Structures are given as C-alpha cells and as structure tokens.
C-alpha cells in the first residue's frame, strides 16, 4: 500500500496528492481538493491513523 500510494497518488511536480486514479493507477482527475478535502484533510487522516495504531498496539 505504501509503495503504491507514493508511486501513483503523489504529485512529483507540486507537493500534494491526486485524489482520483483509474484502475490502471493513472491520474483520473487532476483535482487535489474539493468539497470533501480541505486544509484539515491530511492532518485528520494522520490523526485517524494514530488513533487506529494505538488500538492495535
């Protein structure tokens, strides 16, 4: 998952992530934000990962 994410979702030209890929792993839409993704999206995702890992370990 880590390798796929960093290889396909990361925009190497601008520091952000693409939101949508097709089934071949190619960028489907170049949108990087929208109705459900704003400035708190990444910190909230990291927080959710942290809380999930705390329950596992």
For the chain, what is the domain count? Answer: 1
pLDDT-derived band at 37, boundaries 50, 70, 90: confident
Pull the structure tokens for residue 4: 């796929």
Share of the chain above pLDDT 70, in %: 100
pLDDT at 11: 94
The reported pLDDT for the residue numbered 8 is: 94
CB 27 within 8 Å of CB 19: no
Determine if the pTM surpasses 0.95: no
* Owning domain of residue 25: 2-56
**Region 10-16 average pLDDT:** 90
State the average pLDDT over residues 37-55: 90
């Amino acid at each position: 998952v880590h390798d796929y994410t960093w290889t396909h979702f990361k925009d190497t030209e601008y520091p952000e992530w693409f939101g949508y890929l097709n089934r071949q792993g190619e960028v489907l839409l170049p949108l990087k934000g929208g109705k459900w993704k704003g400035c708190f999206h990444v910190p909230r995702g990291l927080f959710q990962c942290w809380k999930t890992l705390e329950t596992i370990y």
